Amino acid sequence: MRGESVQIPNGQTVWKLAAAQHGVVSRSQLLDLGMSSKVIDRRIARGRLHPVARGVFAVGRPELSRYGRWMAAVLSCGPDAVLSHSSAAALWGFETQSGRVEVSVPAARFPRRPGIIVHRRGVLAPHGVTRRHGIPVTTPVATLIDLANRLSQRRLEVAINEADKLDLTDPERLRSALASQPSRRGVPALRDVLDRRTFRLTDSELERRFLRIVREAGLPLPQTGRRVNGFKVDFLWPDLGLVVETDGLRYHRTPAEQARDRLRDQTHTAAGLVALRFTHAQVRFEPKQVGETLSAVATRLAAANGSKAANGLP
């Protein structure tokens, strides 16, 4: 196809436009760049342009990446169309897409596209739309709101955790955003999941936040995931004889699980260790208090261990 790209007044080429859009361009874009309908049709006939959606063409070769298919779907649905719902979640990386590509368009338009689920809605607020990898898409917050009514509570919790882990949003920012748009569908379901009394971060995210508290408190980093007294513990300072557990893995803790946690703590205490347990809410919302408690206990244990050593005690 070398030599087939069209030079336009500002020096940009069809090749450059396609490269910026994951290999696809729309007919309207080509016309705007100065290419006539006859030239477009001739290039289609010669295999230079390959129709992949209504009014959208792959440039050079018909094979498209997943990004290219998403971009083609958005371009096919016209101006102000954005990737949304499960497709947007897949683009952001906190949900897997199943089925057809989903796109949202302004309510006044009625595009029907084979293989594309088109959602008609009022104009999204500017903070509800952005671009990712060059593809117009709903923001992570707007995407989670769109998904809230279709996902189970468990899957929605997982999606929120994944978005938090990817630093796309966090529970506090989500709660603030929901307060500003209470009438949107999905907001009540999302608000229920974000209830501070039950919502939990996943272990990996909770661990990251806890280790940040440890560093800010000036303490040495603990060992993680070690087995102690027959139990796998979250954090261990062997020199201090200190074990810390953070309650984050289970979203809804049962009485049986709570009883097992008490047994773990009692076993560690009987073995001469100090066992501390912090809840998700403490790590997430009270990091200063957690840090102060850790520092006080670590200082006391270090002093006690030093006293034992001075007196020749084990």
Tens digits of residue pLDDT in 196-244: 556 656 566 788 889 889 999 999 999 988 899 999 899 999 999 999 9
Angle between helices 203-216 and 287-310 (to 10 degrees): 60
* Average pLDDT value for the chain: 84
pLDDT above 90 covers what percent of the chain?
49
pLDDT above 70 covers what percent of the chain?
86
In the predicted model, what is the mean pLDDT of residues 101-108? 91
Domains in the chain, CATH or no CATH each? 14-64 (no CATH), 78-193 (no CATH), 203-310 (3.40.960.10)
Give the pLDDT of residue 7. 44
Give the pLDDT of residue 165. 78
Residue 251 reports pLDDT greater than 60: no
Residue 283 reports pLDDT greater than 80: yes
The whole-model pTM stands at: 0.63
248: left (phi over 0), alpha (psi -120 to 50) or beta: alpha
**pLDDT tens digits along 11-42:** 357 888 999 999 999 999 999 988 899 999 99
Residue 309 reports pLDDT greater than 50: no
**Torsion angle in degrees (nearest 10) through CA of 78, 81, 86, 92:** 120
**Which stretch of 2-6, 104-108, 242-246, 295-299 has the lowest confidence by average pLDDT?**
2-6
177 vs 242: which has the higher pLDDT: 242
Give the pLDDT of residue 115. 87
In the predicted model, what is the mean pLDDT of residues 268-276? 95
pLDDT confidence of 119, banded at 50, 70, 90?
very high
In the predicted model, what is the mean pLDDT of residues 269-279? 94
Dist CA 309 CA 300 (whole Å): 14
How many residues can be counted in the chain?
314
Between the alpha carbon of residue 115 and those of residues 58, 99, 107, the distances in Å are: 17, 9, 20
**Which stretch of 55-59, 100-104, 189-193 has the lowest confidence by average pLDDT?**
189-193
207 vs 125: which has the higher pLDDT: 207
In the predicted model, what is the mean pLDDT of residues 93-98? 82
Contact 207, 246 (CB under 8 A): yes
**pLDDT tens digits along 147-162:** 998 888 888 888 888 8
